[in-house]
Amino acid sequence: MNDQPGEPRDDRDDTHPDDAPSTAEGPRAFDAPESLADPEPGPAVETVRSRRRVVLFTKGDDQDQVAIAEVLRMETVGGVLMLAAAVLAVLWANFGGTSYDDFRHLYLGPLNLQHWAADGLLAIFFFVVGLELKRELVAGSLRKPSAALVPIMAAVGGMVVPALLYLAVNSVLPDGNSRGWAVPMATDIAFALAILGLVARGLPTSLRAFLLTLAIVDDIGAITVIAVVFTTDLAPLWLIGAAASALVWWLLQRYRLDTWWWLHVVLFVVCWFCMWSSGVHATIAGVILGLLTRTSPDEAHDPVDRWEHFWRPVSAGVVVPLFALLSAGVTLDAGVLGAVVTEAVPLGIILGLVLGKLVGITGAAWLTARFTRAELAPDIRWGDVAGISVVAGVGFTVALLVAELAFADAPEVLEEAKTAVLLGSVLAGVLAAVVLGARGRSRARLPEVADAP
């Protein structure tokens, strides 16, 4: 049994939720087996697990549905861990005296723990995001953008409208601050999929593909904003060093030397350090290296699959919860809570996450379907899209990161912004659970009219 990053575990399930492409007509697969909604079997790939024959990319059956449920539960667990860490951070910050601030401001080398989490650990999170982006670009829902036009445009609307709503609120109310316009743009993939997993009973499987495509495009937007807007004082030589290490990474992938996992780890650290020293946010290194990793729709265990298999549990179970623990701790006193509903910055963030995402995603999806040839998947209705748009209002991880970058020199505003992100994400999550839960129960009770709007 081999747990090295470059090799998958021999006893692991060879399926993965995102290995197969998903399109606007419905996901090609919810897991590695062929989609339940797609009656046409694909090419069979045989693997062995515990002396049992498993055939990948075959027509869905009951076993596939069990695998789907297992994947949803894993995503739910990741979301629960993140939520538990955030709750612990809030409790610690409010009832632990100064120990919480003392802990996260403890220095290890050049950075304190909070900055190590935001600049260092989150590079692993963004590396996994980059791997997922690469798969979707090569063999997934983004391979043919025309087939995924509705969720792609929905994601664009879900970024533009919240940002505009934030700017509008901060231009009207006194003491407005335009620097936080990018905070409500973000969608937290882990939380969003966790909520969908909790209420997925009765909902179409293609709804997950819609949410995943939307969240991936949203991530591209967030990564672009972080790289462009929050980059200052560029150091060209360090940037050249980051580019050189990324080039070596690509060459190793190009010539199929991806089994040299130790060299990839060294290159990752070197690229991260050079990026951090260059003035560009260090997490961008993770995205770049993820996108430069080789993948192929015809290879069962390509490097993207192996690296994602190794690092996704680390990201979901360690990296993101630690970031939440070190970043989500806000003091919920009367002053901060009062500011959330009266001050321009927190009010703009909450309205952007809850109302802006709903209007932006649903509106852009409707306009795209109305004025182009693109259509929703046959089993998705506009009520489902509205529910997904509310789920997308759970910003959390990336929203907290952007808030820290935007208000780094304004601690009081940062505290209000973080509180707004937490409250807005909780409100969006609760509303999403209610809306999607009601949709699922309605479909389950009335299967004969499941296609009703």
What the block records as the tokens of 146 is: 């025309």
At which residue do the structure tokens 């009207």 appear?
172
CB 125 within 8 A of CB 318: no
Instruction: Tell me which residue of 43, 205, 189 sits closest to 130, measured CA to CA.
Output: 189
Instruction: Report which DSSP code applies to 453.
Output: -
> Residue 400's closest CA among 342, 347, 349, 332?
349
In a 3-state reduction of DSSP, which class is residue 14? coil
Q: Where are the domains of the chain?
A: 62-112+147-225+314-443
pTM metric for this prediction: 0.72
The angle subtended at Cα 87 by Cα 426 and Cα 412, nearest 5°, is 80
Question: Distance (Å, rounded) from C-alpha 189 to C-alpha 388?
Answer: 12
CB 58 within 8 A of CB 44: yes
Q: Give the pLDDT band of residue 146 (cuts 50, 70, 90).
A: confident
Please name the residues in contact with 233: beta carbons below 8 A apart, sequence gap of 6 or more. Answer: 279
pLDDT at 197 > cutoff 80? no
Q: Say whether pLDDT at 427 is over 90.
A: yes
pLDDT at residue 5 in the model = 52
CA dist 439 and 453 (Å) reads 10
pLDDT at 111 over 80: yes
Across the range 164-193, mean pLDDT stands at 90
- Rounded to the nearest 5°, which phi and psi values hold at 327? -120, -25
Could you report the per-residue pLDDT of 218-243, keeping only the tens digit for each?
A: 888 888 888 888 877 788 999 999 99
Place domain 62-112+147-225+314-443 in its CATH homologous superfamily: Na+/H+ antiporter like domain (1.20.1530.10)
**Angle (nearest 5°) at CA 130 between 261 and 418:** 120
pLDDT for 41 equals 43
Mean pLDDT, to the nearest integer, of 190-194? 79
- Per-residue pLDDT band for 422 (boundaries 50, 70, 90) equals very high
What is the structure's pLDDT at 250?
95
Choice between 168 and 452, residue whose per-residue pLDDT is larger: 168
Beta bridge partners of 23: 26
Rounded CA-CA distance 392/432 in Å is: 9
CA 383 and chain centroid, separation: 23
Handedness of CA 219, 220, 223, 224 (dihedral sign): negative
Confidence (pLDDT) at 446: 60
Q: What pLDDT score was predicted for residue 75?
A: 63
81-99 pLDDT, tens digit each: 888 998 999 999 999 888 9
For the stretch 231-284, pLDDT in tens is: 777 889 999 999 999 999 999 999 988 778 889 999 999 999 999 998 888 888
Q: What is the pLDDT of residues 352-400, one digit of tens each?
A: 999 999 999 999 999 999 999 888 888 888 988 999 999 999 988 889 9
- Least confident among 105-119, 185-199, 302-316, 319-333: 185-199
